[in-house]
Structure 1
Amino acid sequence: MSYDKPIRRIAIVGTGVIGASWAAEFLAHGLDVVATDPAPKAEANMREYIDEAWKDLTSIGLSKGASRDRLRFTTNIKDALSEADLVQKNAPERPDFKIKLYAEMEEVAPVDSLFASSSSGITPSVIQSQCKHPERVVIGHPFNPPHIIPLVEVVGGSKTSPDAIQQAIRFYASIGKKPIHLKKELPGHVANRFQAALYREMLYLIEQGVLSVEDTDAAVCYGPGLRWGVMGQSLQWHLGGGAGGIQHFMDHLMPPLEGMMKALGTPNITPELKQNVINGVMREAAGRPVDQLAQEENRVLIGLLKLREEIGLNKASAEPMAAA
């Protein structure tokens, strides 16, 4: 099966927060979108989300042909998938449900359409295990919200065609995303594992009474978190190595860092620790509702991405480096 046709028609299966955000992103890039979800008020909730997201997307910059009028909703999955070039699936994280849903999708979608799952933890080999055409199944896992955060983790299963993986990567890159190719399947993929690794140590420090919840968050977002918004940790260590760069860092600074790694802790996540975190977070929120905090975060993220674009960081990070 060839996976080189252009992707112009998208089917969204599941229109919760992730599905609606994906729909907004695709519409903002001038694509035709058909969405389906059996939940009550699914269409109204999705359109309300897209209308709100459109303000941010307009600020980011709409592509030629971008229009919310290119969205159609149906509760009939056959109608939604019958002409889809790409199916972006956003269903509940239950393996049995996903396996059954994919079997249903295969019966109604064109045989050459690409199936991409937004699954945040389930591996593609599990999802494709009962498929008649498993070669077209990939994970296309976004970071929330997909219409703002560029990262998309792309990973295939044991039966996925390499061509399907490359088609997914090309497509996501074409709409301004930053796709990364995971060459091996891992539960939780990679970005969520990074978050889990950091949060494990944060919880350990809170549990041990080293820092309050508020100061733990401050240590991240006012320290290394600021740098991570500019470049990744390995490139940061290149700067940390001074004139000698990463070679100096590996030769002279990696040994003490390695010792620190061995001293990292594992917290006992007790009800008391959970409540401590909840109390600290509520103090940080200071009465601001979740929606307000999300809007504030989105404005800062858009500003950061625009600044990265102005100085060429987005372009530089998207270009593959030549093999050494």
Structure 2
Amino acid sequence: MATLTKAAVIGGGVIGGGWIARFAQNGLDVAVYDPDPQAEAKFGRLMENAAHAFGRLIDGARPRLGAIRFVSSLAEAVAGAEIVQESAPERLDLKQRILAEIDAHAPPEAIVASSTSGLLPSELQATMTRPERLVVAHPFNPVYLIPLVELVGGARTAPATIERARAFYAALGMKPIHIRKEIEAFVGDRLLEALWREALWLVQDDIATVEEIDEVIRYSFGLRWAQMGLFQIYRIAGGEAGMRHFMAQFGPCLQWPWTKLTDVPELTEALIDKISHQSDAQAAGLSIRRLERIRDDNLVAILKALEKEDWGAGALLKAYRAGLAGAPAATPAEPLRLHAAEVPEDWLDYNGHITEHRYLQVLGDATDAVLAHLGLDAAYLASGRSFFTVETHIRHLGEGHRGDRLGVESRVLSADAKRLHLFHAIRRERDGALLATGEHMLLHVDTKAGRAVATEGAMAERIAALAAAHAGLPAPDGAGRRVGERG
């Protein structure tokens, strides 16, 4: 979790709203100022998507949700803030005016970060009394899911500001990259601009439609880029001889007249109409909000798949999740609260309620969270030890619906050298309603020998300590029941 606790966001549009969501989901209290009278209503819709995505991405221990409040002035927003994220429209004069006002009212030690996608930080800090605390922190949409943030300092930015910003954004589960020279549009957008220019020419010259271009990207090199980038992929393409062979073989192609990157098509009304009509056809009636939800769900799936491989953005997610799990989730004598989930559309049955196998999924994930809390990690599994569930009893007590936020309370009913007896209660967070309980018996096993064995060392000690702490709790209702038992 981020060590800072209080943030201000100036500008609550798409990027500013994404920052608000990422900050709040990481436990920061956020004060927001945006002169648009509809800003709070628009943000509410964005926050729904962000909460849904974050709930699917981080399904174990999570920080508390930070408080979000919209205020009536910039000065009120930045009062007491430890970091101020400026996300105003891309106009130099407007940003300079806003940054000067932030500088005048924010605490002297606060980091001032601009979300600009192209303006030079040296120009942005020109009107500031304390220019040394200004850093560009350029994210990518959706900010609450995409981990990259480009950090760029201006001529008068203090090196300590860059380091403080790097540590802060890393604690949010992001990947801060320090761009050492300030250039227009930085690195990410410069690369995107090259592809965008070429794509515009392909549409202009009727070589491909917008949908066909998107299909080329998402069915080919987009898949490679998502997990290995550009240069490492080309290194592989060079075979055993690596990058040097690739450059020698394909470098001459750069001189061929394939590209129009040195030019850009005129954005005439005819070209704009062509692109707009093709884009409408590609969307096939899906709303922007629905497309955002599809995008977010796909990004979560990709990130979690990479997490299993401990690679790229997935390795970053794994480290972030481990940091969250390492934070104290509950006092030892209280039930553990290690797992939460939000109910998506595909969890519902024909009655519009959570289907029964999804309750088992939530309970299984809660069991995994308890085991991780006890120390079951990749190293433990590699040693040939694990836990197998041998018996489960589920009670379905309430109805969960799409969008419900579920929290699980977990406790140890009993434990001995080879057995771990767990009980989970699934509650709806907004009203505390008990929706289901799960009782599970697990055996500690030697996975190579295929038999139950005693726990040893730190694992045995942690299980014994947790079982002893939970032994003093009142027996949970429903524990030990058989199927069909009355009363």
| TM-score (structure 2 length as normaliser) | 0.61
CA distance in 1, matches of 2:132, 2:258: 43
Preserved contact between residue 9 and residue 32 of structure 2 (Cα < 8 Å)? yes
1:105 maps to: 102
C-alpha distance after superposition, 1:165-190 (max 9, x if no partner) = 12111211111111111111122222
Aligned-pair distance for 1:30? 1.5
Q: Which residue of 2 aligns with 1:215?
A: 212
What is the Cα deviation at residue 230 of structure 1? 1.3
The letter for the 2-side match of 1:162 is P
Deviation at residue 85 of structure 1 after TM alignment? 0.9
Task: Write the deviation string for residues 104-154 of structure 1: whole angstroms up to 9, x where unpaired.
Answer: 111111111100011112111111001111011011111011001111111
Does the Cα contact within 8 Å between 2:49 and 2:293 map onto a contact in 1?
A: no
Please name the residue that 2:196 is paired with.
Answer: 199
Aligned residues of 2:131 and 2:157 also touching (Cα < 8 A): yes
Match of 1:139 in 2: 136
**1:169 paired to 2:166:** yes
Query: Which whole-Å deviations, capped at 9, do the CAs of 1:231-275 have from their partners, x for residues lacking one?
Result: 11101101111122223212333233x234x53113422332222
1:316 Cα deviation (Å)?
A: 8.3
Tell me how far 1:211 sits from its aligned partner: 2.3
Q: Does 1:263 align with 2:258?
A: yes
Which of 121, 129, 140 lines up with 2:126 in the alignment?
Answer: 129
Shift in Å at residue 315 of structure 1?
6.3
Deviation at 1:58, TM superposition (A): 1.0
Q: SS of the residue aligned with 1:301? A: helix
- Rg: which structure is higher? 2
What is the match of residue 43 of structure 1? 40
Conserved in 2, the CA contact under 8 Å of 1:207 and 1:267? no
**Closer, same or farther: CA 82–172 of 1 in aligned 2, 3 Å:** same
Q: Separation in 1 of the partners of 2:279 and 2:114?
A: 31
Higher relative contact order (CA 8 A, sep 6+): 1
Correspondence for 1:288? 286
Deviation at residue 54 of structure 1 after TM alignment: 0.7
Q: Residue 146 of structure 2: which of 135, 139, 149 is its match?
A: 149
Q: Does 1:305 align with 2:303?
A: yes
Query: Take 1:315 and 1:105, find their aligned partners in 2: how far apart are those partners?
Result: 33
Q: Cα–Cα, structure 1 residues 166 and 317, in superposed 2: closer, same or farther, change >3 Å? A: farther
Cα distance in 2, alignment partners of residues 35 and 199 from structure 1: 33
Q: 1:275 to 1:125 in 2, by over 3 A?
A: same
Task: State the 4+ residue runs in structure 1 displaced beyond 4 angstroms.
Answer: 315-318
- 2 CA distance for matches of 1:17 and 1:199? 21
Amino acid at match of 1:290: I
Distance 2:264 2:35 in 1: 41
Q: Distance in 1 between matches of 2:313 and 2:265?
A: 42
Equivalent residues of 1:238, 1:245 under 8 A apart: yes
Unaligned segments of structure 1, at least 5 residues:
319-324
Retained in 2: the 8 A contact 1:87–1:115? yes
What's 2:358 paired with?
Answer: none
Alignment-mate amino acid for residue 28 of structure 1: Q
Q: CA RMSD in A?
A: 2.0
**1:195 Cα offset (Å):** 1.3
Distance of aligned partners of 1:317 and 1:311 in 2 relative to their CA distance in 1, 3 Å threshold? closer
Residues 306 and 314 in structure 2, CA contact (< 8 A), matched pair in contact too: no
Mapped partners of 2:23, 2:197: distance in 1: 35
CA distance in 2, matches of 1:131, 1:220: 42
Aligned equivalents of 1:117, 1:277: Cα separation in 2: 31
Contact 2:227–2:313 (Cα < 8 Å) also in 1: no
The residue number in structure 2 matching 1:78 is 75
Is this contact kept in 2: 1:82–1:108, CA < 8 A?
yes
1:251 counterpart SS class: helix
- 1:277 partner letter: I
Code of the aligned partner of 1:65: P
Checking the alignment, whether the CA contact within 8 Å between 2:33 and 2:77 is kept in structure 1 is yes
Deviations 1:79-108, CA, capped at 9 Å, x for gaps: 221211110111121111111111111111
1:78 partner amino acid: A
Residues matched between the structures, number: 311
Bigger helix share? 1
Structure 1 pair 225–21 and aligned structure 2 pair: CA distance change class (3 A): same
Partner residue, 1:230: 227
CA distance in 2, matches of 1:254, 1:9: 50
